[in-house]
Amino acid sequence: MRLSIIIPIHNEERYITKVLEKVLALPLVCEKEIIVVNDGSTDNTKKILEKLSGHFSRNNNFKLIHHPKNLGKGAAVKTGLLAATGNLIIIQDADLEYNPEDIPLLLSRVTENVSAVYGKRSARVWPKMGFHYVLGAKLLTYNINVLYRARLADTYTGYKLFNISNLKMGLLKELASSGFEFEAEVTCKILKAGGKILEVPIRYMPRGKKEGKHIAIRDGLKGLSMIWRCRFG
């Protein structure tokens, strides 16, 4: 069993070193592969990554990929998917909102008949992110549940672990989203294909816009449009 950890990054100079150290030090029961995709950062992220790459590349399972310009989270994830060789794949955001120490918890819920395991965030900490974000996330999840007869609690979580053994890799590589609507599209297409998604509670430390949060109201509207296109397109 091999886990590919894809880390999409855009302007995360404050956090990237600590994220990588945590992921590299993470003890797992399986082999791990780390794929970092720098999505056209304009701060010091690229310089930091290049400085660290010599140290991290001693690990033969470490890959660093640069986008010449910012293409969006979905595009960065797709680049990582094309480079991934694991039969399990997880997305690790680079801002430490999600704790890498929860990855073993998600891994423990993987079985042959499960297509994906999602980390369910605690609603109690969401208010820090703003009312519009909480409402938007719940509205998007509600639409997915109604249209696909699902019973999910948090479809826009950044922690998604995909089981390639039970999920066709083509479904992931052929995703159309380039932005945050990736979260909606991948969930809809897994459900449409008859896949099973499990959710497990995880720790979550949200940050606000002043702290570098990138997602905005327009991303929610794109997500809603994507949900309906996937269902009726």
CATH of the domain at 40: 3.90.550.10
Put simply, whether the predicted model's pTM sits higher than 0.85 gets the answer yes
Q: Rounded mean pLDDT of 213-223?
A: 74
Please say if the pLDDT value at position 170 is more than 80. no
Question: So what's the pLDDT on residue 191?
Answer: 95
Sheet strand arrangement including 160-163: 62-67, 31-39, 2-9, 88-91, 160-163, 116-120, 197-201
Question: So what's the pLDDT on residue 136?
Answer: 80
**By residue range, what is the domain housing residue 186?**
2-232
CA angle in degrees (0–180, nearest 5) for 170-184-79: 45
Rounded to an integer, what distance in angstroms lies between the CA atom of residue 98 and that of residue 93?
7
E-state strands within the chain: 2-9, 31-39, 62-67, 88-91, 116-120, 160-163, 197-201
Mean pLDDT is highest, among 129-143, 152-166, 211-225, for: 152-166
Secondary structure of residue 192 in the 3-state scheme = helix
Question: So what's the pLDDT on residue 223?
Answer: 85
Domain count, the chain: 1
> pLDDT band at residue 166, thresholds of 50, 70 and 90?
confident
Q: Which tens digit of pLDDT belongs to each residue from 107-153? A: 999 988 999 999 998 755 555 555 667 778 889 999 999 999 999 99
**R_g over Cα of the chain:** 17
Instruction: Give the mean pLDDT of the chain.
Output: 87
Rounded to an integer, what distance in angstroms lies between the CA atom of residue 167 and that of residue 115?
6
